[in-house]
Amino acid sequence: MDWTVPNDRYGPDTELDPEAADPVWYQLAAILTARIVAGRYKRGRVIPSENQVIGEFGVARSTVRKAVKLLVEKGLVRTVHGRGSYVREDLDV
Amino acid sequence: MDWTVPNDRYGPDTELDPEAADPVWYQLAAILTARIVAGRYKRGRVIPSENQVIGEFGVARSTVRKAVKLLVEKGLVRTVHGRGSYVREDLDV
DNA sequence: GTCTATTTGTTCGTATGTATT
DNA sequence: TAATACATACGAACAAATAGA
């Protein structure tokens, strides 16, 4: 797989660092990606809702959406209006 | 009407020039004004969203907001939180 | 069929930091 | 120093789709 998000730096349980060089939305995308790769978020299943991510990480909704948007662009998840974002079945990671 | 934005210089299809003497946000305000006057943006209807303007002109959101702010001050549009900016019905241009 | 709650989609409001001029 | 312009980040309001009672 072609990683745009640096998972050598942001593992599944890494905390967000507002002071880091990478923006928070990017760090968040890396963490969510790591969780998908680790199997914590399983294929065909929904990832946590925007509000749940907000609750866990204490970030703004726009930040969550920016992170998930990157996951969609990377082909990791697909988002369905009114339902949620699903981990793609055909992931070869 | 009392033009503060110089529409003799910036028509509806004028391009932005970062090198020009007038700041970009001012040029943008003039272009949007020209489009309202030309009827391209009609009375009572919304003008393009901030993101759409960003997409068309390739400027920052703050630049768009500064331009629209001038239109509001000039009485050309009214802005509604969560919905958009509407061309005023009572324009006498 | 209707109502309600949940969730994503879109839009504007505000503040801060950085770089450039 | 001040103005401009970009990016980031948090809030808030409203709309639309979905699902279940």
Query: pLDDT tens-digit profile of A30-82?
Result: 999 999 999 999 999 999 999 999 999 999 999 999 999 999 999 999 999 99
Global pTM? 0.88
pLDDT of residue B93 exceeding 80, the answer is no
Residue A4 lies in a domain: no
Q: How far is the CA of A84 from the C1' of D5 (A)?
A: 36
Strands (E), chain A: 77-80, 84-87
Task: Look at residue B67 and tell me if it is in a domain.
Answer: yes
Position A3 scores a pLDDT of: 58
State which residues form the domain around B38: 24-87
Who touches strand C, with Cβ under 7 Å? Answer: A 46, 49-52, 61-62, 65, 68, 79-85; B 46, 49-52, 61-62, 65, 68, 79-85
The three-state secondary structure class of B80 is: strand
User: Would you say residue B9 lies in a domain?
Assistant: no
Say what the pLDDT of residue A2 is: 57
Check whether B2 has a pLDDT greater than 60: no
A31 found inside a domain: yes
High-pLDDT (> 90) share of chain B, %: 73
Tens-place pLDDT, residues B26-41: 999 999 999 999 999 9
Residues B48, A46: Cα–Cα separation, whole Å: 33
CA of A61 to C1' of D9 (A): 10
Q: How many domains does chain B have?
A: 1
Beta carbons within 8 Å of B3's beta carbon, 6+ residues apart: B33
> On chain C, which bases lie within 7 A of the protein's CB atoms?
6-17
Q: Which residues have CB under 7 A from strand D?
A: A 18, 23-26, 58-63, 66, 80-83; B 18, 23-26, 58-63, 66, 81-83
Phi, psi of A57 (to 5 degrees): -100, -10
Nucleotide nearest B63, from its CA to each C1': D5
CATH number (domain holding residue A71): 1.10.10.10
Q: Residue B47 falls within a domain, yes or no?
A: yes
Residue B16 lies in a domain: no
Does any domain span residue A74? yes
